[in-house]
């Protein structure tokens, strides 16, 4: 058995025990696949992690950068109260269309606002404050997304940035992949910024070897 196979099995083991069967979320993943969206959604276990993190900080407003088909957005929207809001930024009109159908189908469409367009162009017009920010978009722009997250989030807010390990390639200064270069630039910016205290959680599972940055804005 390979390490990847074992990681998959452990993911499935805990998913079966700790996550309820949820046809709505399963339907969203099927809709994404049927629409030809890339299969890069967070895993069910990661989706529930986002949900629990949002609940743990009592989030009423959440900012998401990178909607895709709205799978993670559903998890976040379920964590905010009925009068709460998730603002999610998506560059692709097709992805946003699929996401809107998934959100409405999940019964959370009324608490989600999709902001269409390149996030670096739309974020300046987004109004805070937010209690949590989740960044899962183009990795080359993560440093700029971090700056917007800090600007828009309240003191004490939680910032989560996905895919920061890149199967370990982040430690290679000569890797030319723009996602790796962008992640290293983001890590340097994060380390130098006194406005946020952060750590990294390396992950293995159905999406291979990667990780999250978790940060809290200083008061």
pLDDT of residue 199: 98
Residue 82: helix, strand or coil by DSSP?
Answer: coil
> Residue 11: phi, psi to the nearest 5?
-55, -45
* pLDDT beyond 90 at 21: no
Q: Tokens at residue 81, please?
A: 């109260």
**Per-residue pLDDT tens digits for 62-114:** 999 999 999 999 999 999 999 999 999 999 999 999 999 999 999 999 999 99
pLDDT of residue 175: 98
Question: Which domains are seen in the chain, by residue range?
Answer: 3-35+42-217 (3.40.50.150)
* pLDDT beyond 90 at 3: no
Q: Quick count: other Cβ atoms within 10 Å of Cβ 145?
A: 26
- Alpha carbon distance 204, 124 (integer Å): 34
Taking alpha carbons only, the member of 126, 184, 113 closest to residue 153 is 126
DSSP structure class, residue 19: S
């Amino acid at each position: 058995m390979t390490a990847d196979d074992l990681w998959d099995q452990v993911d499935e083991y805990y998913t079966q025990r700790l996550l309820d069967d949820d046809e709505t979320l399963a339907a969203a993943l099927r809709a994404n696949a049927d629409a030809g969206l890339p299969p890069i959604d967070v895993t069910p276990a990661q989706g529930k992690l986002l949900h629990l993190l949002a609940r743990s900080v009592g989030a009423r407003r959440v900012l998401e950068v990178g909607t895709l088909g709205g799978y993670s957005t559903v998890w976040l929207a379920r964590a905010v109260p009925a009068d709460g809001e998730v603002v999610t930024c998506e560059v692709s009109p097709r992805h946003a269309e699929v996401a809107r159908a998934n959100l409405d189908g999940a019964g959370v469409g009324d608490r989600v606002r999709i902001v269409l367009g390149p996030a670096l162009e739309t974020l300046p017009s987004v109004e805070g404050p937010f209690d949590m920010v989740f960044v899962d978009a183009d990795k080359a722009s993560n440093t700029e997304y971090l700056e917007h997250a800090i600007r828009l989030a309240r003191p004490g807010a939680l910032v989560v940035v996905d895919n920061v390990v890149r199967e370990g390639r982040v430690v290679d200064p000569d890797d030319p992949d723009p996602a790796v270069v962008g992640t290293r630039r983001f890590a340097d910016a994060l380390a130098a910024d006194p406005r946020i205290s952060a750590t990294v959680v390396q992950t293995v599972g159905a999406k291979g070897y990667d990780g999250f940055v978790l940060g809290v804005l200083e008061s």
